[in-house]
C-alpha cells in the first residue's frame, strides 16, 4: 500500500474530540454519558476569574462496553483550558474510577480507560485541582488491583504535571508519536533551567526527550502506536486481554531508581544517553 | 467576559437536544434544547466584551431568513468569529433535525 493510500484509509484519533474518542472506543450503541453537558456541572471558579466555562468542564465520562465487558472511559478535552484538571472535571474522573472499583467489589468486572490530554492541574482552581488529582491517583491504585486501568496519551496536548504521575500509575500506557509525557511542561523547564539548556520552542529537541517514541524505548510506556483509531482500539483490547500486569510499572521503582542512580548530572543528558541508560540490561522486565 | 440574552419569534418546539463545538480558542460551544413554543431564547456567555451588537446582528440576519424552531440555546464563546458562530449554529440545528428524525 502506498503512503497516500494508507493515509486515506486511516482514521485519526488525535483529531477526534473527547466525546468522539469515547464513542469510537466503546462497542457500538453502548455509549452512555454520565454527568453530561446538559446537567451543567460546570466550574464555579472560572467565571469568578472572568473565564468562560464549558458545560462538561472538559471531561467526558462514558459508560459502555468494550468486547462486551463493562468499561468506563474518562476522556479529557485538550482544547478546553489545555485539558487542565479543575475541581469538577477531576471529581468526575475520580468518581468514575471509584465507582468502577466499587463495581468490582460487588462482582461486576468494570474496567477503565483514561484518555489523557492535560497540562495537569488547572492553576485557577489551585488546591482543589491538586486534591482531585490525588483522588484520581488513589482511585487508579485501588481499581488496578481488580482490573487493568489503561491510559492513552494520543496528543496533541500530551500529559503533564500530577496527571503524568496518574498516567504512570496505570496498568498499561499507550502513546502515539504525537504524545508527550513529562512532569513539567517544556516552558516550565525552560523558565527554571534557562533557554541555553532547554529551548521550549525547539520541537524536535522536546519530542526527542519527552515524546511518545522516546518514552516507549525507555520503558516508560507499554505500547507505541500510529495515530489510527482502529489500531488504538485494537491495542486497548490487547491490553485488556492480557489482564493485570504481574507487577505494575510504579511498583518496579527500584529498577528505575537504580538506572537514575547511574546518571551523571554534571554531563549534558541527551536523548541517546537516556535510551542507553534504560536499554542496558532488562532485569526490570521493561517491555 | 459578559453574559448576553436575546429573544426571537420562533415556530414549534422540536424534540431532542444537541451539543456542538467546544470552548477552545476561536471556537464556541452551543447547547440546544427544546423551548417554549413560539419563542427562541439565546443565552450567550462570551470572553469578548462589548460584542452585544455583533451578536444581535448575526442572529437577526440568520433568523430573518428562516423562522427558527422554539429553542433554549446556550452559547459559551471563546472568541469565535461571526462566521464560525454561524457555522456552529447551523450545525446544531441540523443535528437537532437528525435527532428529531431519529425519534420519529
pLDDT tens for A164-187 read: 999 999 999 999 999 999 999 898
- B76·A38 Cβ contact <8 A: no
What is the ipTM score, two decimals?
0.92
Shortest distance, CA B45 to any CA of chain A (angstroms): 7
Q: Does A37 touch chain B (CB under 8 A)?
A: yes
Q: What percent of chain A has pLDDT over 70?
A: 97
pLDDT tens for A47-96 read: 999 999 999 999 999 999 999 999 999 999 999 999 999 999 999 999 99
For residue A52, give the nearest of B19, B31, B76 by CB distance: B76
Chain B residues lying within 8 Å of A51, measured CB to CB: 1, 47
* CATH 3.90.226.10 corresponds to the domain A9-250: yes
The DSSP H or E segment spanning A4 is: helix A3-9
Q: What is the 3-state secondary structure (H, E, C) of A168-203?
A: HHCCEEEECCCCEEECCCHHHHHHHHCCCCCCCCCH
Hey, where are the domains in chain A? 9-250
Chain A residues lying within 8 Å of B74, measured CB to CB: 55
Q: Does B8 touch chain A (CB under 8 A)?
A: no
Mean local confidence (pLDDT), A118-147: 97
Of A252, A261, A258, the closest CA to residue A284 belongs to: A252
Confidence tier at B48 by pLDDT (50, 70, 90): very high
Judge whether residue B51 has pLDDT over 90.
yes
pLDDT tens for B57-99 read: 999 999 998 899 999 999 999 999 999 999 999 999 999 988 7
Chain A residues lying within 8 Å of B1, measured CB to CB: 47, 50-52
Three-class secondary structure of residue A256 per DSSP: helix
Q: Does B29 touch chain A (CB under 8 A)?
A: yes
Cα–Cα distances in Å, from A122 out to A48, A149, A159, A201?
Answer: 14, 24, 13, 23
Q: Does A50 touch chain B (CB under 8 A)?
A: yes
Amino acid at each position: 500500500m502506498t503512503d497516500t493510500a494508507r493515509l486515506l484509509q486511516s482514521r485519526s484519533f488525535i483529531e477526534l474530540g473527547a466525546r468522539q474518542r469515547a464513542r469510537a472506543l466503546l462497542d457500538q450503541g453502548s455509549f452512555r454519558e454520565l454527568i453530561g453537558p446538559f446537567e451543567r456541572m460546570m466550574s464555579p471558579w472560572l467565571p469568578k476569574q472572568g473565564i468562560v466555562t464549558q458545560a462538561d468542564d472538559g471531561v467526558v465520562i462514558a459508560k459502555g462496553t468494550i468486547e462486551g465487558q463493562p468499561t468506563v472511559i474518562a476522556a479529557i478535552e485538550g482544547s478546553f483550558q489545555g485539558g487542565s484538571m479543575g475541581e469538577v472535571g477531576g471529581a468526575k474522573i475520580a468518581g468514575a474510577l471509584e465507582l468502577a472499583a466499587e463495581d468490582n467489589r460487588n462482582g461486576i468486572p468494570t474496567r477503565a480507560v483514561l484518555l489523557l490530554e492535560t497540562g495537569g492541574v488547572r492553576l485557577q482552581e489551585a488546591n482543589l485541582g491538586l486534591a482531585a488529582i490525588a483522588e484520581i491517583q488513589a482511585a487508579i491504585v485501588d481499581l488496578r488491583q481488580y482490573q487493568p486501568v489503561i491510559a492513552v496519551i494520543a496528543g496533541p496536548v500530551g500529559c503533564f504535571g500530577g496527571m503524568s504521575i496518574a498516567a504512570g500509575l496505570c496498568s498499561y500506557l499507550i502513546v502515539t508519536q504525537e504524545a508527550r509525557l513529562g512532569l513539567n511542561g517544556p516552558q516550565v523547564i525552560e523558565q527554571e533551567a534557562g533557554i541555553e539548556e532547554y529551548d521550549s520552542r525547539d520541537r524536535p529537541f522536546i519530542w526527542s526527550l519527552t515524546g511518545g517514541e522516546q518514552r516507549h524505548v525507555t520503558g516508560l510506556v507499554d505500547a507505541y502506536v500510529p495515530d489510527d483509531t482502529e489500531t488504538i482500539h485494537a491495542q486497548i483490547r490487547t491490553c485488556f486481554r492480557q489482564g493485570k500486569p504481574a507487577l505494575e510499572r510504579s511498583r518496579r521503582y527500584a529498577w528505575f531508581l537504580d538506572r537514575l542512580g547511574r546518571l551523571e548530572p554534571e554531563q549534558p543528558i541527551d536523548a541517546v544517553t537516556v535510551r542507553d541508560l534504560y536499554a542496558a540490561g532488562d532485569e526490570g522486565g521493561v517491555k | 467576559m459578559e453574559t448576553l440574552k436575546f429573544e426571537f419569534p420562533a415556530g414549534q418546539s422540536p424534540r431532542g437536544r444537541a451539543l456542538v463545538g467546544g470552548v477552545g480558542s476561536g471556537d464556541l460551544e452551543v447547547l440546544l434544547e427544546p423551548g417554549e413554543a413560539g419563542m427562541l431564547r439565546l443565552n450567550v456567555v462570551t470572553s469578548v466584551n462589548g460584542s452585544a451588537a455583533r451578536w444581535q446582528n448575526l442572529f437577526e440576519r440568520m433568523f430573518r431568513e428562516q423562522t427558527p424552531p422554539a429553542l433554549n440555546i446556550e452559547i459559551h464563546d471563546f472568541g469565535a468569529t461571526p462566521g464560525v458562530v454561524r457555522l456552529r449554529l447551523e450545525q446544531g440545528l441540523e443535528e437537532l433535525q437528525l435527532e428529531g428524525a431519529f425519534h420519529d
